[in-house]
A and B are shown apart, each in its own frame.
Chain A
Amino acid sequence: MSRRRLNEFDLTLGQKLLQMNWMFIILLGVTVAIGVGMLYSAAGGDFNPWASRQMIRFGVGVAIMIVVALVDVRIWMKLAYPFYVVALILLVLVELKGSIGMGAQRWINLGFVQLQPSEVMKVALILALARYFHGANLEDVGRIPYLIVPLIMVGAPAVLVLRQPDLGTALMLIASSGAIFFLAGVRMWKFGVVLTMALAAIPIGWQFLHTYQKNRVLTFLDPERDPLGAGYHITQSKIAFGSGGVFGKGFMLGSQSHLNFLPEKHTDFIFTMLAEEMGLLGGLGLLGLYFLILIYGYAISVQSQNHFGRLVGLGITSTFFLYVFINIAMVMGLVPVVGVPLPLISYGGTAMLTLMFSFGLLLSVSIHREVSIARRGGEEDV
């Protein structure tokens, strides 16, 4: 019986491809194309070294995304915990290996590819939490002991990432997890308590921050504190941003970007370059594309017939949003400088592949939206 029921939701490859949200993929393509254009400009009118590689990565990313999307969402749910455990082991490995190298240890060399376990964890954590809360009813969620396991699931990788040290990613992990807790129905007052405790812990945590992290926060609070040192980046970014005006200085004509006043113009500060060369209109255009992607994310999540899919969908959408928001807010001086790339635009391999993988999951949720899954294993009894 269970077998027949399972097959009821099974789709053929052709059906799946038909169900694939191609408009969403085109939307991603358009956004990446803008990024490639900016990378072309950043290199002074050259596809090398960034634009061409970014295109190739996007191509690979699309392939991964489609493969991931075609895998049944139920299989992803089954893989959620093993995936999480693997990611956690990788983080521990980085921690162990990290003592050998110098500075921030974020990479692990698997021989054929440089892997960044914290990126993998971003996806794995969403899957694991979604799976956990999938099996929870509202009463369960209301009980505090029930929340201990998911809190450990968040806490363990967050602490490991923090030790690398990578404050930005740790906060991102906590923030996207928070979104899932929130969607799962955890009471508001509990968020209130946690937030209050976090604020109270800030003075203690401050002592554990590295000097450069402290400087970033201090610089954010007062960018003119050290205009040629830590505040230089954000000051130059704001000058580039503001001098773009409404219509921008023109493609490849951004003086701040091309004369190197703007730092990291091909990675974290690429939105500034866009704003300088394309102006307010260009910035709003890209923001509009992001807005559409978010709408798609919401539509897919809300339409899903299983709670796992809904939580995964919005977990991914929220993480994506966080990246977009924090990056753009950072380059405009609204939040401290944290090393957060602009999704789909910034140059960077791991980030692109992780993002495309998670969009694959989102599309899987979309394709398998009619699948209902029982709260505790197997299918939901209708």
Chain B
Amino acid sequence: MSIHRDGDRYKLFSRRAAMLAGGKLALLTTLVGRMYYLQVIEADKYKTLAEDNRISMRLLPPPRGRILDRRGVPLAVNEQNYQVLLVPEQARDVNETLTALDAVIGLTGGERKRILREIKRKRSFVPVTVRENLTWEDVARIEVNTPDLPGIMIDVGQSRYYPEGVATAHVLGYVAAVSEKELTGDPLLELPGFRIGKAGMEKVHDLALRGAGGTSQVEVNAFGRVIRELNRQEGRPGADVRLTIDFSLQKMAAERLGEESGVAVVLDVHTGDVLALASNPSYDPNAFNRGLSSKEWKTLVNNPRTPLNNKAISGQYAPGSTFKMLVALAALEKGAITPQQKVFCEGHMELGNAKFHCWKKHGHGPQDMHEAIMHSCDVYFYEIARRTGIDRIAAMARRFGLGDVLGLELPGERRGNIPDKDWKRAIYGEPWHMGETLIAGIGQGYVLATPLQLAVMTARLANGGYAVKPRLTRRIEQATDENAAQIDAPGSLGVNPNHLKLIREAMEAVANEPGGTAFRSRIVKPGMEMAGKTGTAQVRRISKAEREQGVLKNDELPWEQRDHASFVGFAPIEAPRYAVAVVIEHGGSGSKAAAPIARDILIEVQKRNPGRPPTQMQEAKL
């Protein structure tokens, strides 16, 4: 009985054991199937994923190219920036290390808090920046105390530095951290701490200066720690950019402008090389790289003398009497007057029932063209402008570079304004009035020009009527090829050379003959004499009542209401090489405020003679 019963039990057990075994076999088969699926069918996908895990690409930022002046003097360089880093996992006790470091370089409570916060956020082998821009003394002190500072490390980064920042700011611009909307897909821009050009030549030549990033393929572990480098591709360092600027002249011009809100532009009349382009007041571009406080930023933005504005290209001023040469040329070309014909100046001219005044209240008497330019007689130019007509004056002005952008590399260049009949109809929907021609004849009214345009105009007068264009970039120096910017010989403006000669002689008289408006600012050194023309542009309207009571002197007016002073000139007279334009905002009269500065600059540029190409030896030395 019991055997039978146990037999039943055994039979059931055997059956159940077989079923269990079958179940297990099925499950084992599932495992094998899954292994086959993962390791054979999906193997390639997972191999790729494993490689992605393992290999990480690191970008190697290239050193930014330098910016040099025409002789190779560095204007923008990369400075080594020493920073202290703390690697938490290498410190026995982070707090202890920080306390020891505090004894060496002194840490503020805020710094300490920030460091501890960053340590908490980052993985323990990732260095945390303790302080940037260390002085050399601090570096030395830390190095000496290294044994007491476990986990502390000195690292050298690079930061942009402008040795003469304030004098060159408007040409060079500055670099600063990349903003969201400047991301172009270049992965370099996404590197923390990467800087790009934001203004000036730094911005214009940003791509060349930037170079190309290298890459380093590294094997990393799950925590991101680099195990070893697998492959490395060196980048291309940024190219040096050589400017046409002559640094010493630039600095001298900036300093000579001094506290004034003004501009000085110096051109080589044959090549268009901008030898100096100073706009005061200026700012320190190094501050932008460092990062401005909101207070510093507000001070810059709210300054009425607009230090952030490059007035040489974006300041638009009535050219005043510096425009008169172009009116004279237009009149001569039309035959509206001959050089010898005289116009009588009695201090004013009447047109209809309007009265147009000469700056000299009681008049110049009879004036021919030479005298009129030399004395800057307004009535003479009212008269020849009336005879010539605005459209011809405007056409002549445009030939000399006014009324449109000149294509200097810098961003923010303005057009100025040269009005004519069509322009007025288009803008105001009104016909042109003859009175407006008269006003334009003395470079006021609707006429506006930038200081750069005035300099180009002067260069074109001085070089015999060739359409020279200004340029700032001498060449971009690559490691391999040297692509010196080719200047095409400028085409002729088609102005009668005799007329130009007349004008130049008159400009010579301005600055050399007694009675010339700039006679007091003449250059006496033989061979360096300059020619020029003063300009004084009203910024307010002088009412009839005021004129009767006696016009207020500039000194008696608030700064914003004083006249703009300007002077354009070139030197030397015999074979002109350099043109200069100086504009002093609200500086008073051109002869007093602008001419002396222009004179000093022209003396300096002739002494330095930067138009001459640097000799082989100088090139090799730089």
Contacts and interface: CB of A to CB of B under 8 A. Distances in A.
B17 A298 contact: yes
Given A246-B43, A328-B31, A332-B38, A183 B50 contact: no
A291 B379 CA distance: 117
Interface string B10-53: 10111011011100100110111011101110110111011101
7 contacts: A239-B46, A242-B43, A242-B46, A243-B49, A280-B39, A287-B35, A307-B10
A256 interface: yes
Interface in B159-178: none
Contact of A246 (B40, B50, B227): B40
A240 B47 CA distance: 8
Chain B interface extent, by class: 35 or more
Contacts of B54: 255-256, 259, 261
Contact of A284 (B6, B30, B35): B35
Contacts of B27: 321, 325, 329
Interface in A266-323: 275, 279-280, 283-284, 287, 291, 294, 298, 301-302, 307, 310, 314, 318, 321
A238 interface: yes
Given A183-B13, A334-B30, A375 B2 contact: yes
A22 to B, nearest CB: 24
A245 B39 contact: yes
Interface in A220-253: 236, 238-246
Given A287-B31, A301-B17, A334-B30, A245 B50 contact: no
Interface residues of A, number: 47
A43 to B, nearest CB: 15
Nearest to A321: B24
A260 interface: yes
A238 B42 CA distance: 10
Given A243-B43, A283-B35, A318 B20 contact: yes
A283 B39 contact: yes
Given A284-B32, A332-B31, A182 B16 contact: yes
Contacts, number: 136
B5 interface: yes
A275 B5 contact: no
B332 interface: no
A71 B574 CA distance: 126
Contacts of A240: 46, 50
Contacts of B46: 238-243
B8 interface: yes
Contacts of A325: 24, 27-28, 31
Contacts of A294: 24
Interface of A: 137-138, 179, 182-185, 236, 238-246, 255-256, 259-261, 275, 279-280, 283-284, 287, 291, 294, 298, 301-302, 307, 310, 314, 318, 321, 325, 328-329, 332, 334, 375, 380-382
A283 B17 CA distance: 27
Contacts of B2: 375, 380-381
Nearest to B34: A332
Given A259-B219, A318-B24, 18 more contacts: A183-B17, A236-B222, A238-B38, A239-B50, A241-B35, A242-B38, A242-B42, A243-B46, A246-B43, A256-B50, A259-B54, A279-B39, A280-B36, A283-B39, A307-B6, A307-B9, A314-B17, A334-B30
B575 to A, nearest CB: 74
B220 interface: yes
B99 interface: no
